[in-house]
Amino acid sequence: MMRHPGLAMRMLVAGSILFAFYLLVAIAMMLGGIPLELVILITLGFVGFQWKFGKWAALRSVGARDVSEDEYPYLHQSVESLSRRMDVPKPRVMVAEMGAPNAFAIGRRNKGTVVVATELMQILDRQELDGVLAHELAHIRNRDVVMMVLGQSIASLVGIVVTYAMIFGGRRNLGAYFLAWIAGSLAQMLVMVFVLAISRYREYVADADAAEAIGTGDPLARALEKIQRSNERVDQTRIDDNTAALCIFDSPHGLLRSIFSTHPPTEKRIERLRYGAY
């Protein structure tokens, strides 16, 4: 049973809207002369491929690797202890040199993966690291990682279909190709707006779950402060935009990225954790 009705409702609404976009894509392909059977094969195959590829790409982009209990004993012990406390099967534990302190979770409830940056473990004490790990386990338990990855997949699919529909439905010259690319990008951004409907809220929920799991929100608040300060001094990381959406911390640069940020302001997250306004 979903522990958070607010998150469940947002996921239901966002999922329904994303499914509507998915159907519109299928209808557009059928109107373009593609048989129904092939439309189903293409659309389901694309989303399925994106789900598998998205996980692989996120892990590969940061160079994540599996680590043994002998190599990182406390990391494994903490994940195992928190998993029992939060009633989640212990996920795969990986570390990566991301170029900045961060962490993210990916996968399903029964087949999750937690990736921790070596830079993160260098700046956090054990309580703070527990707070971050509990936050990532909350994402797996709440199944919101699945919604994020599938939402990004459907947004990509919509963008591709709009682009090619304009190319094949109009003149084929450099200007038409450019306009088609613009239209596809705008369509993809439109779909991503509905993904953002749950993205920021899910971070607040995971913060609250982490505070509940470890008994206080202060360690995670301290961790976020350290992570924010460290990221302000970093010019470049190995974390791409898609992976950043899954991380515990994403620092948007510029007005447009702030508007479409996948994370709420860090200051507000810290305030909620410190004063219990979950």
The predicted-structure confidence for 72-87, as pLDDT tens digits, reads as follows 999 999 999 999 999 9
Among 102, 200, 105, CA closest to 149: 105
Angle between helices 126-142 and 174-214 (to 10 degrees): 120
Active-site residue identified among 71, 97, 119, 136 = 136
Active site residue 136: yes
pTM for the whole structure: 0.87
- Domain extents for the chain? 5-275
Edge-to-edge strands, sheet with 92-96 = 65-66, 92-96, 111-117, 103-108
| Residue 35 backbone dihedrals phi, psi, to 5 degrees | -60, 150
The predicted-structure confidence for 162-187, as pLDDT tens digits, reads as follows 888 888 776 667 777 888 889 889 98
The predicted-structure confidence for 3-43, as pLDDT tens digits, reads as follows 788 888 888 888 888 889 888 888 888 888 889 899 889 88
Query: How large is the average pLDDT for residues 93-101?
Result: 96
